[in-house]
C-alpha cells in the first residue's frame, strides 16, 4: 500500500439512478451488482448539498488546485434541469478559492435539448455522450426497452453540441467496444461527429463472466479490433485524440496514463450514490453484488475516511498491488493489470489476477510499441494527470519566474510523486519489509519528519533506478531513508542497513565509515543519535542537540561524515551533498568528499552568489530559496569549462563544478534551477506532444535537439538573459572589458531565447498550456531586446548564431531552422 492514501480528485456524483434506455451491456443494471434497486431515483437536495460540502472539505484539506466531478446515473438528464443546476451551484459554492471545478455530465444524449444546453452553458457543465459508432453498431446494444433504436436521438444531441453556440460544451464521445461491429465503420462514424476526444471502452467482464469471443475471431479479438482502429486512426493523421491510444503512447514513454483502465497510477476516484453512500468505481458492479460498497456515506464519513478503505488503498498501490503474473509482465507499466474490475475471479483469488483481457492488452500494447517505438524514459511515474498548480501559478511559471508559494507547491507535488515511486519500489517485497513498516508507522506518527527525509532529492533518483533495474540500485537502501526519517523524528528504531565500500549511508544526513564492515550493519536510533553494530565494537554517534541529526561531531577524520549545510543570508540553507552515491544523477562526474578547506571554498562564493541572485534576479530568488536545498559539487570541467547540471529525478538539487567567480556561480545556480522548476512542471503537465520525436534547431547549439531539450534550454536562458541584462544596466554606458563582455552575453542570450521561443511556438506540437508557456517566455524575454548593447555586441552575437545555424544545417542536412 502507499504510505498515505492519494486524495480523491475525481468524483462521480449520481444524480439519478434509473435510465431511459435498456442497453444490454450496461454494467449498472445488467451486471452482478443490484444495489440500484434499493436506491432513491434521484439525489435529494440534502444529498447534493452534503456531497458538495464533502468535496469542498476534501479540496481544502488537500489544497487541490482542481477537482473533476462527473454528473452520472443511470441517466443523469432524468434528474431534470433544476436539480442539475442546483448540483452545479452547490459544487461551485463549496470549493475553496483557487480550486477549479471541472464539471461534466455523461449522458446517453436521448433527452439532451436546447434547454439543457443553455443551462450547461450558464453553469459550466461539459457533456460527454455515449455512442457506440455507426447506426448498426449503436443499435446492437443501445436501445429503448421496447427495442427502438436510440441512434437518431443521440445524433441529434451531438448535432446540438456541434452548433457554434454550444460547441465549447462538447467533451467527447464514449464508445463501448463490441468486436462484432466493424472497427472502420465505428471509427469513421465517430470522427465524422468531430468530437474533441473519443474514449473506447472495453466491455465490462471478469474471469467468471468473460467477454464474448466469437468463434473465428481468434484469441485476442479486442486487441485485433483496437489495432484495426489504431491503424485507421494513424493513417487518417490522428484527427481526434483517442484516450486509450494516447495512454498507451504515454505509458510506453514512462508517462502517466489518461485512463484508469491502463497504467499504474493510483486510483483517485470515488462515487457518491443518490442516497449519499460512498462507493468505489462503478466498474466494480460487474464483479459481484455489493462489490463497490464501502459501508461509508457522506453524512457520517469524510472523504479521507473512505480514502483509507482497504479497497481504495489497494487500487492505489501501483505495481505492488498486482498479481504475481502482472508484476513479472514486460508491459506491466503500460498495462497496469488493466481495469481493476476486470481482474476479478470468484475462486477466492478476488482481484489478484491478470485482467480477463490480458492477452488483448498485451497484444495491443506490444503492437503499438513496435509500430511507434520511442524513448521509454522512466518506466513508472505513478502520478495522476491532475493539475498541481493553480492557473495563476502556471502563468507565473510560464513567464519563467516562480514565487516561494509556487515553488513550494511544486515541491509538494514532487514529494507526492516520490512517495508513490517508493511505494511502487518497496511495497510487498520481503527485502524492504522492515524499512517499509517503519516508514508506514512514521507516516502516521511523524509525517513532517518523514516528508523531510523523502524531500532529499536523491530518494527519487534511487527509486527510479530501482524501477529501471539499474545497477547500483540496492533495495536495501530504503532502510537508510527510513532510518533518516526516524532520526529526524527522534523515534526509537532498529534496522538492518546495507554497507557499501566500507560506508553506511543515511541519505541526506551523511555516511559512517566503518572498519571491518560486512555487507550490512544493525543500526539502532533514538532521540540522541544512533549506534551501528558490525563485527567491530559498536559505534555510537551522538547529536549535539537531541532530534537534530545534522549537528553531530563534524571533526574531519572521524567515522561520521555529515552532509555540510551552509546557512546563507536571509536564512537560506543549502546542503553541500558529497556522501550520497545517488548524487551521480547529474550527467557529469561528482566530486568526492570535500575537505574542510574545500567547504570554505564553496561557502564564500555561494554566499556572494546568493547576494547577486537576490539583487539581480528578484523574480527568481524567492523560488530558488524555496526549492533549492542541495548543491552537489561536480569535478572540474575540461579546460576550465563551467560545468553544471540538473536532474529530472532530483528535484531540489543542482550539480555544479565550483566556477572561478561568484557571478558565474550565481548564473549557474539560476540557470540550473530553471531546469529543476520546468522538470517538475513537466512531471504533471503536458506542454508538448511527447509523440513528436523530431529534432529542432536550438540557436545556442550546433547539434539538433528534441523538443523537450529546446524547451528546457529556452526556459533556462530566460534567467541567463535577465542576469546579463541587469549587469549591462549596472554598467550604464561604461566602457571596460567586463562591461563589453556583459553586453555581448546579453546580445547573445536574448536573441537565442527569443528565437527559440519562436521555434517552439512554430513547432505545431505545443499543447494549449505549452502555448501559454511560449507566450509567457516571449513576454519576459522580448523587453530585454530594448536594452542597448552597441553595434559590436549585436554583430558578434549574430555571427555566433549564424555559425551555429550553419553547423546545425551541416549536421541535420536541412535548410529550414524549424523541426527536421
Binding region for ligand SF4 (CB under 6 A): 325-326, 329, 331-332, 335, 337-338, 354-355, 358, 361-362
Non-local (6+) Cβ contacts of 356 within 8 A are 205, 206, 207, 210, 211, 338, 342, 343
Nearer Cβ to ligand SF4 (326/707): 326
Q: Which of 625, 715, 685 is nearest to 399 (CA)?
A: 715
Q: Do 465 and 473 meet the contact criterion of CB atoms below 8 Å apart?
A: yes
CA-CA distance, 648 to 642, in Å (whole number)? 20
Nearer Cβ to ligand SF4 (322/523): 322
Nearer Cβ to ligand SF4 (17/355): 355
Nearer Cβ to ligand SF4 (326/670): 326
State the nearest-atom distance from the C-beta of 329 to ligand SF4, in Å: 3
State the nearest-atom distance from the C-beta of 353 to ligand SF4, in Å: 8
State the nearest-atom distance from the C-beta of 281 to ligand SF4, in Å: 17
CA-CA distance, 654 to 605, in Å (whole number)? 16
State the nearest-atom distance from the C-beta of 286 to ligand SF4, in Å: 16
Q: Do 594 and 658 meet the contact criterion of CB atoms below 8 Å apart?
A: no
Nearest-10 crossing angle of helices 114-123, 151-162: 40
State the nearest-atom distance from the C-beta of 342 to ligand SF4, in Å: 8
Nearer Cβ to ligand SF4 (326/626): 326
Nearer Cβ to ligand SF4 (358/781): 358
Listing DSSP states for 754-815 in one string gives HHHHHHHHTTS-B-HHHHHHHHHHHHHHGGGGGS---HHHHHHHHHHHHHHHHHHHHHH---
CA-CA distance, 8 to 279, in Å (whole number)? 12
State the nearest-atom distance from the C-beta of 710 to ligand SF4, in Å: 35
Q: Do 552 and 487 meet the contact criterion of CB atoms below 8 Å apart?
A: no
Give Cα 450 distance to the centre of its chain: 21
Q: What letters, b where the CB count within 10 A reaches 16 and e where it falls short, cover 308-331?
A: ebebbbbbbbbbbbbbeebeebeb
Q: Cell digits for 533?
A: 553494530
Beta pairing, strands 100-107 & 293-297: unpaired
Q: Cell digits for 55?
A: 468535496
CA-CA distance, 109 to 2, in Å (whole number)? 39
State the nearest-atom distance from the C-beta of 307 to ligand SF4, in Å: 25
State the nearest-atom distance from the C-beta of 343 to ligand SF4, in Å: 7
CA-CA distance, 628 to 573, in Å (whole number)? 9
State the nearest-atom distance from the C-beta of 261 to ligand SF4, in Å: 11
CA-CA distance, 195 to 201, in Å (whole number)? 16
Q: How many CB atoms lie within 10 A of CB 709?
A: 15
Nearer Cβ to ligand SF4 (247/721): 247
Q: Cell digits for 489?
A: 523524528
Nearer Cβ to ligand SF4 (343/648): 343
State the nearest-atom distance from the C-beta of 262 to ligand SF4, in Å: 9
Nearer Cβ to ligand SF4 (354/633): 354
Q: How many CB atoms lie within 10 A of CB 806?
A: 11
State the nearest-atom distance from the C-beta of 333 to ligand SF4, in Å: 8
Query: Taking the C-alpha atoms of 749, 750, 753 and 754 in order, what is their torsion angle to the nearest 10 degrees?
Result: -150
Q: How many CB atoms lie within 10 A of CB 213?
A: 15
State the nearest-atom distance from the C-beta of 335 to ligand SF4, in Å: 3
Nearer Cβ to ligand SF4 (70/364): 364
86 SS3 class: helix
Strand spans (E) along 90-229: 100-107, 126-130, 170-176, 198-201
Nearer Cβ to ligand SF4 (424/509): 424
State the nearest-atom distance from the C-beta of 362 to ligand SF4, in Å: 4
Give the H or E element holding residue 532. Answer: strand 529-533
State the nearest-atom distance from the C-beta of 350 to ligand SF4, in Å: 15
CA-CA distance, 18 to 77, in Å (whole number)? 10
State the nearest-atom distance from the C-beta of 316 to ligand SF4, in Å: 17
Nearer Cβ to ligand SF4 (335/575): 335
Nearer Cβ to ligand SF4 (166/225): 225
State the nearest-atom distance from the C-beta of 332 to ligand SF4, in Å: 4
Q: Do 772 and 779 meet the contact criterion of CB atoms below 8 Å apart?
A: no
173 SS3 class: strand
Nearer Cβ to ligand SF4 (351/673): 351
State the nearest-atom distance from the C-beta of 380 to ligand SF4, in Å: 12
Q: Do 76 and 107 meet the contact criterion of CB atoms below 8 Å apart?
A: yes
Nearer Cβ to ligand SF4 (137/425): 425
Q: Do 105 and 112 meet the contact criterion of CB atoms below 8 Å apart?
A: no
Q: Do 552 and 541 meet the contact criterion of CB atoms below 8 Å apart?
A: yes
Nearer Cβ to ligand SF4 (359/377): 359
Nearer Cβ to ligand SF4 (362/411): 362
Phi/psi-derived region of residue 400, left when phi > 0, alpha when psi is between -120 and 50, beta in every other case:
left
CA-CA distance, 803 to 814, in Å (whole number)? 15
Q: How many CB atoms lie within 10 A of CB 590?
A: 18
Amino acid at each position: 500500500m502507499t504510505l498515505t492514501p492519494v486524495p480523491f480528485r475525481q468524483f462521480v456524483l449520481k444524480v439519478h439512478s434509473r435510465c431511459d434506455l435498456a442497453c444490454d451491456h450496461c454494467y449498472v443494471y445488467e451486471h452482478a451488482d443490484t444495489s440500484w434497486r434499493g436506491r432513491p431515483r434521484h439525489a435529494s437536495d440534502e444529498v447534493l448539498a452534503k456531497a458538495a460540502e464533502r468535496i469542498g472539505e476534501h479540496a481544502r484539506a488537500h489544497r487541490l488546485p482542481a477537482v473533476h466531478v462527473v454528473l452520472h446515473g443511470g441517466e443523469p438528464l432524468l434528474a431534470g434541469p433544476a436539480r442539475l443546476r442546483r448540483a452545479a451551484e452547490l459544487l461551485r459554492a463549496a470549493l475553496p478559492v483557487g480550486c477549479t471545478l471541472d464539471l461534466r455530465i455523461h449522458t446517453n444524449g436521448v433527452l439532451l435539448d436546447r434547454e439543457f444546453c443553455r443551462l450547461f452553458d450558464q453553469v459550466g457543465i461539459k457533456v460527454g455522450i455515449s455512442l457506440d459508432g455507426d447506426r448498426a453498431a449503436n443499435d446492437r446494444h443501445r436501445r429503448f426497452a421496447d427495442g427502438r433504436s436510440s441512434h437518431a436521438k443521440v445524433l441529434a444531441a451531438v448535432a446540438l453540441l456541434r452548433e457554434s453556440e454550444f460547441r465549447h460544451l462538447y467533451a467527447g464521445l464514449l464508445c463501448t467496444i463490441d468486436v462484432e461491429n466493424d472497427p472502420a465503420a465505428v471509427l469513421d462514424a465517430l470522427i465524422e461527429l468531430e468530437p474533441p476526444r473519443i474514449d473506447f471502452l472495453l466491455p465490462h467482464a471478469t474471469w467468471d463472466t468473460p467477454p464474448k469471443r466469437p468463434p473465428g475471431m481468434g484469441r485476442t479479438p479486442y486487441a485485433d479490433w483496437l489495432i484495426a482502429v489504431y491503424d485507421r486512426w494513424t493513417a487518417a493523421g490522428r484527427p481526434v485524440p483517442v484516450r486509450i491510444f494516447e495512454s498507451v503512447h504515454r505509458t510506453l514513454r514512462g508517462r502517466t496514463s489518461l485512463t484508469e483502465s491502463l497504467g499504474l497510477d493510483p486510483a483517485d476516484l470515488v462515487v457518491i450514490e443518490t442516497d449519499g453512500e460512498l462507493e468505489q468505481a462503478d466498474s466494480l458492479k460487474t464483479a459481484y453484488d455489493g462489490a463497490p460498497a464501502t459501508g461509508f456515506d457522506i453524512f457520517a464519513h469524510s472523504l479521507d475516511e473512505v480514502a483509507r478503505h482497504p479497497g481504495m488503498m489497494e487500487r492505489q498501490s501501483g505495481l505492488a498491488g498486482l498479481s504475481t503474473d502482472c508484476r513479472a509482465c514486460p508491459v506491466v507499466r503500460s498495462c497496469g493489470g488493466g481495469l481493476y474490475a476486470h481482474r476479478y475471479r470468484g475462486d477466492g483469488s478476488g482481484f489478484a489476477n491478470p485482467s480477463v483481457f490480458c492477452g488483448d492488452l498485451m497484444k495491443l500494447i506490444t503492437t503499438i510499441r513496435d509500430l511507434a517505438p520511442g524513448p521509454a524514459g522512466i518506466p513508472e511515474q505513478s502520478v495522476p494527470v491532475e493539475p498541481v498548480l493553480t492557473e495563476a501559478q502556471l502563468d507565473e511559471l510560464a513567464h519563467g519566474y516562480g514565487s516561494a508559494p509556487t515553488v513550494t507547491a511544486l515541491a509538494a507535488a514532487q514529494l507526492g510523486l516520490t512517495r508513490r515511486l517508493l511505494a511502487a519500489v518497496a511495497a510487498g517485497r520481503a527485502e524492504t519489509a522492515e524499512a517499509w513498516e517503519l516508514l508506514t508507522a512514521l507516516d502516521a506518527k511523524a509525517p513532517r519528519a518523514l516528508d523531510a527525509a523523502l524531500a532529499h532529492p536523491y530518494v527519487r533518483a534511487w527509486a527510479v533506478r530501482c524501477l529501471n533495474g539499474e545497477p547500483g540500485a540496492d533495495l536495501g537502501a530504503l532502510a537508510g531513508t527510513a532510518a533518516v526519517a526516524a532520526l529526524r523524528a527522534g523515534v526509537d528504531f532498529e534496522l538492518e542497513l546495507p554497507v557499501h565500500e566500507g560506508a553506511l549511508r543515511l541519505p541526506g544526513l551523511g555516511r559512517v565509515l566503518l572498519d571491518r564492515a560486512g555487507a550490512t550493519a544493525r543500526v539502532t536510533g533514538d532521540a540522541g543519535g544512533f549506534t551501528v553494530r558490525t563485527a567491530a565494537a559498536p559505534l555510537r554517534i551522538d547529536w549535539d542537540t537531541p532530534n537534530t541529526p545534522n549537528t553531530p561531531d563534524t571533526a574531519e577524520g572521524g567515522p561520521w561524515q555529515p552532509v555540510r549545510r551552509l546557512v546563507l543570508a536571509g536564512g537560506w540553507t543549502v546542503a553541500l551533498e558529497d556522501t550520497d552515491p545517488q548524487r551521480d544523477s547529474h550527467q557529469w562526474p561528482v566530486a568526492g568528499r570535500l575537505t574542510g578547506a574545500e567547504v570554505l571554498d564553496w561557502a564564500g562564493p555561494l554566499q556572494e552568489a546568493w547576494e547577486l541572485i537576490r539583487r539581480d534576479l528578484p523574480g527568481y530568488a524567492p523560488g530558488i530559496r524555496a526549492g533549492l536545498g542541495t548543491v552537489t559539487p561536480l569535478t572540474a570541467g575540461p579546460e576550465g569549462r563551467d560545468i553544471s547540471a540538473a536532474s529530472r529525478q532530483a528535484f531540489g538539487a543542482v550539480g555544479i563544478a565550483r566556477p572561478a567567480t561568484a557571478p558565474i556561480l550565481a548564473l549557474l545556480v539560476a540557470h540550473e534551477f530553471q531546469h529543476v522548476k520546468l522538470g517538475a512542471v513537466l512531471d504533471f503537465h503536458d506542454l508538448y506532444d511527447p509523440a513528436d520525436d523530431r529534432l529542432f534547431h536550438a540557436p545556442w547549439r550546433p547539434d539538433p535537439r528534441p523538443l523537450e531539450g529546446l524547451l528546457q534550454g529556452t526556459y533556462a536562458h530566460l534567467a541567463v538573459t535577465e542576469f546579463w541584462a541587469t549587469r549591462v544596466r549596472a554598467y550604464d554606458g561604461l566602457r571596460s572589458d567586463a562591461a563589453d563582455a556583459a553586453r555581448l552575453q546579453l546580445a547573445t542570450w536574448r536573441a537565442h531565447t527569443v528565437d527559440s521561443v519562436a521555434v517552439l511556438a512554430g513547432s505545431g506540437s505545443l499543447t494549449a498550456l505549452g502555448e501559454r508557456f511560449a507566450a509567457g517566455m516571449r513576454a519576459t524575454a522580448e523587453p530585454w531586446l530594448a536594452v542597448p548593447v552597441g553595434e559590436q555586441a549585436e554583430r558578434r552575437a549574430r555571427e555566433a548564431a549564424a555559425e551555429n545555424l550553419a553547423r546545425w544545417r551541416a549536421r541535420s542536412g536541412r535548410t529550414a531552422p524549424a523541426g527536421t
